[in-house]
Structure formats: C-alpha cells, structure tokens
Chains A and B, each alone.
Chain A
Amino acid sequence: MLRRDFFRAVLVTLVGAGLVSAEVEAKRGRPASPRSVGGTRRRTRRRRTRRRIRRGQRLYSLPYGCSTRRLRGGVNYYYCGGIWYQPAYQGTTVVYIVETVDAGASTDVEFEEEEYY
C-alpha cells in the first residue's frame, strides 16, 4: 500500500515538476520564427478614397491636395474646401483637428492613402 503511495507521490511530483519546467521553458523558449531572412518587401500603391469628416475629428493626414496655410487669431490652420484644420501635436505626432466647417462646405472629403497588398 505504502509502496503504491510512494510511486503515486513520485509520479505526481514528476508531472508537477514537468508542468513547472514546461512553463519555464515556454517563457525562455526560442520560438521557431525566422531569424535569417531579413526584411520584407513592402508593396504599396496609392489610392484615393472619400470619407465624411466631422467637427472635432482628428486626422493623421490632410485631405488630398490640401496645403493652404492661414493664420487666424494667431493660430496656424490649413484651410481647404471651406474647412479649417488645426495642426496639433499628440506626443510627437502631428494630427489635424477639424476645427470649423464653413456654412455650405461639403464634409465629404477626398484623401489619398497608401494601400498595402
């Protein structure tokens, strides 16, 4: 009886230790991910899309062809198609806040984007 208990205890211990060691190995593991084939080929094409924008929205890029800068109240803006975009920093990234939409201006705006395929 005791011998059976002994073997059971050893078995449980070994399985338990195996689980612990498996976890440690997984943490320390060297996954079989590629290490020598450097770089990936980036294939891109540019395309234009239309999107509806709204006041207060933050954009990572200005609409297609929008480069007119204007100073209003001492603040720098881009003004295109009756819409005022205020550049501002989010961290170290410049975003463009849709600040004002003039009466009658269309909010259906064309953007040029890089498309990856």
Chain B
Amino acid sequence: MKPIVSKLSVRLVGLLLFSLCFSASAEEADAAKDILKKMSAEIASLQKFVITGDGYTDARLPAGQIIEHSRDVTLRMSRPDTLRISNYDEESLSEIFFGEGVLSVYREKEGFYAQTELPLDMNAAVDFAINEIGIDAPVLDFVSSDVAGHLLKAAESIDYFGLSRFRGQNHHHIGIRTAETDVQVWVSAEGSPLPRKMSISSKWDAGAPRSVYFFDWTVDPGLEPKSLRFVPPEGSSRIEFDLDTAECGESAC
C-alpha cells in the first residue's frame, strides 16, 4: 500500500507546528518592547512632570502572615538634574532630593537629614543613589533618560499579555522576568503611552512578597524651583549615610 504521507512531510508538519508556537511568543516580546520604547520616548520628551502614586508593599511577619503596607509617593521632576520624591508610609514622611549635584534625604519622624555629592548626569546619579547609598523608591524607575533600557537591563524574558482595563482606561499589560524579580508594567493604551501601574514580585522570598503601585501623571506642571530645593527644616539635625554595612547585627544590617 502506498504511504499517505512521506517521512519528510511528517517532519515538516512537526517543525511547522513548533515554529508557530515559538514565533508567536517572539512576536509578543517584540510588541512589548515596542510599547516600552514608545513609553520611554514619551517620558524622555517631558521636561517637567509630576507623578503621584499610591500602592502597597507586602511584608511577611514572623508568624508567616503577609500584610500590606500602604504608601503614597510623589515625584516632582525638572530635567536635567532636579527631582524631589516624597514618600509617605504608615509611620512617616521621607523625602529624597537630587539637585545641583547633591543628594539629600530627610525623615520627618526622626528629624534627621543626610547629604552627599551626586554625579550631575541623572542616569549616573540614579545608579549612584541606588547602588551606593541604598535609595529605593518606586518612581525612581521612571527618572532615567532611557526607561525601557533601565527596565530591560536585567531581563531574561519579556511578554505582552494583551489589554487590561482599570481606572476607566485600557492599558497594555507587559511582563518582564529577571533572575530575582517578576516585573509587570501597565502602559496606557489611550492617549500618551505612560506607565499607570507597576508590580514587582520577589521570586525567591517566602510568600513571593510584592509591591504594587498605581500612577497618575501631570505633564508640564508649574513647578517652582524652590519646591525642588532641600532646605533643612527647623530643628532637624544632620547625620551621615552609613556606607559601611559590613558589620551586620541581628537586628539591623
């Protein structure tokens, strides 16, 4: 009896099916990168902007319970090199200022502030603040001149998950996987392509704690220069940054 199909065609069908699966995910990754690049270009085009955000950060208690710490954050940015981040948590207001080559940090609760020199270039300043000083604020991801490059620097994979609707608008839902975290970004699909929500999950911490923030953008706000300048509040005292964390104790490090 004559065979219905040849061995060659059998292999070709298999190969075709597999390549269809993989090309679909490659297209998704390209779509996600395109959206992030447009978002990045939009943010880079803004000379002055304000981001107000609210969200929560998970905390795992010793008994295993996971709770959410709510936070409010506001970023006021004036390119090329000035910004102010006000971060309200359940305890206190903490503020971060970049300006004229100086980083200032202040916490209202303790009444202490610290200052150190910063590189003038904003990208270098952000790297310094994160890696040398240990500054961590959700909106810092949107300060760099190449936000897409910043987000994808350590990416192992990127996916486009389609449209997602919240707060009355459609958003592109994008997932980025790195070795340590899973990051999700929601970019507005209506109007300016700006990020409106971000989620970061720890992959290896017990309970996979995460932080989730929603953002509102005000472009071209009337920012007064003095509102971005740090002036030590009356009664506050200056302390230093602790750059030597080699000595770790049981209660802090």
Q: Which residues of A contact B (CB under 8 A)?
A: 1-3, 5-6, 9-10, 12-13, 16-17, 20-21, 24, 27-28, 39-40, 42, 51, 53-54, 56-61, 75-76, 86-92, 94-98, 111, 115-117
Contacts and interface: CB of A to CB of B under 8 A. Distances in A.
B24 to A, nearest CB: 9
A32 B195 CA distance: 26
B10 A42 contact: no
Given A2-B6, A116-B65, A88 B241 contact: yes
Contacts of A51: 250-251
A42 B67 contact: yes
Contact of A92 (B61, B107, B239): B107
A115 B63 CA distance: 9
B47 interface: no
Nearest to A12: B14
Interface stretch (B29-37, B119-127, B132-140, B213-221): B132-140
Q: Chain B: interface residue count, which band?
A: 35 or more
Between A10, A58, A75, the greatest number of chain B beta carbons within 10 A of the residue's beta carbon is seen for: A58
Q: What 5 A-B pairs come out closest when comparing CB atoms?
A: A91-B134, A57-B249, A88-B242, A2-B3, A56-B247
Interface string B73-109: 0000000000000010000001010000000010100
B112 A89 contact: yes
B174 to A, nearest CB: 12
A60 B252 CA distance: 5
A39 B249 CA distance: 32
Contact of B134 (A13, A90, A117): A90
Contacts of A27: 159, 175
Nearest to B251: A59
Nearest to A42: B67
A89 B114 contact: yes
5 contacts: A42-B67, A57-B250, A76-B237, A89-B133, A111-B251
A111 B107 CA distance: 22
A13 B250 CA distance: 54
A103 to B, nearest CB: 21
Contact of B242 (A58, A98, A111): A58
